[in-house]
Amino acid sequence: MHCHMKVFGTLVFPLAMLFSPTLCAQQFLPVKGIVNARDLGGYTVRDGRTVRNGVLIRAAHLADATDADIRYLSGLPTGKVIDFRKEEELAGKTDRPVPGATYISLPIDASGNMAAQASEEEKKKFTGRKKFDVRKIILFAAFNDKAKKVARDMYPTLLFTPECQQQFARFFRLVLDTDQGAVLYHCTQGKDRTGIASALLLAALDADRQTIVADFDATNKVYEKDVRKYSRRVRFWGGKEEEIAVVKAFMGCSTEYFVKALDRIDREYGSVDAYLKGPMGLSEEDIRTLRERYLQ
């Protein structure tokens, strides 16, 4: 796998190279207020071409983006911002608008509505407020049996339930309908729903399994400190390894479960290519269009 180095103005990001030997510094965007913001550009696919820089952007929400971040995204330019979050995730965290970009809400639900599964007493104990806070939601989710099941089943839910498949198929249509400007897509943390969307995009562009898994797994370095921090808090409340596993799944991402989900696609559909042409609704012409537009 090869990457092409890129310098943003006068800034270079050597620390990003520590995240994964398969990622380049240029793939971590030069933004301060947007977490897990990465460019799919630079990945090499099977025929030797590479994904174009600055056209497919994955990220967490844009609510905390700085003015400089917004200028950077506008300057790409960004044509569409696709938001996978549900309505309750938007409270206090509405995306800052990107000039020139069309905002599209495309909610995808793989959570089992964790917040609703906790009692009012649990919410008060762990959150102390009604405002949606994903990190504090995770604290009480660690002790909730239904949420533990959600953690185990998250990727099968995203990839195999008809409702989620329909939304990801709509995502592909939105990407296909964008013939100018970058597509930026995100959820709350830019990891699970965004990670699955990235994996499917890379598969459509003919990236190999190693590349797809490496891009998905890079999230774990981004959130490594948070996982440690909230694991300590869960242990303080009496949590054991089963509860810690929930923190790891919700604060980071489970690459092991992701790979198992990819293997299930192979078993049930025969290949990822068949999955893309099945529930994702991609034709051969659609795939050619994606590769002509986003590869170089």
Long-range own/partner contacts, residues 287-292 (CB < 8 A, 24 or more apart) = 287/204, 289/176, 290/175, 290/176, 290/201, 290/204, 290/205, 291/49, 291/204, 291/205, 291/206
Helices (H), the chain: 67-75, 120-126, 134-141, 145-160, 162-176, 193-204, 209-217, 219-222, 224-236, 241-251, 255-269, 272-277, 284-294
Q: Is the pTM of this model over 0.75?
A: yes
Rounded to an integer, the average pLDDT of 97-119 is 77
Rounded to an integer, the average pLDDT of 207-214 is 97
Query: Per-residue pLDDT for 133 more than 80?
Result: no
Q: CA-CA distance, 225 to 245, in Å (whole number)?
A: 15
**pLDDT of 22:** 55
Percent of the chain past pLDDT 90, that is, above it, reads 65
Rounded to an integer, the average pLDDT of 172-189 is 96
**pLDDT of 113:** 45
Which of the listed ranges 19-23, 139-143, 193-197, 254-258 does the model predict with the highest average pLDDT? 193-197
Among 231, 195, 228, 227, residue whose Cα is nearest residue 213:
195
9-21 pLDDT, tens digit per residue, is 333 333 333 344 4
Per the CATH hierarchy, to which homologous superfamily does domain 14-294 belong? Protein tyrosine phosphatase superfamily (3.90.190.10)
78 or 236, which is more confident:
78
As beta bridge partners, residue 82 has 104, 185
**pLDDT of 247:** 84
Percent of the chain past pLDDT 70, that is, above it, reads 83
Rounded to an integer, the average pLDDT of 48-64 is 97
- What are the domain boundaries of the chain? 14-294
201 or 232, which is more confident:
201
Contact (Cβ atoms closer than 8 angstroms) between residue 182 and residue 77 = yes
> Pairing state of beta strands 38-39 and 56-59?
antiparallel
As beta bridge partners, residue 185 has 58, 82
**pLDDT of 165:** 97
The per-residue pLDDT of the chain, averaged, comes to: 86
225-234 pLDDT, tens digit per residue, is 988 888 888 8
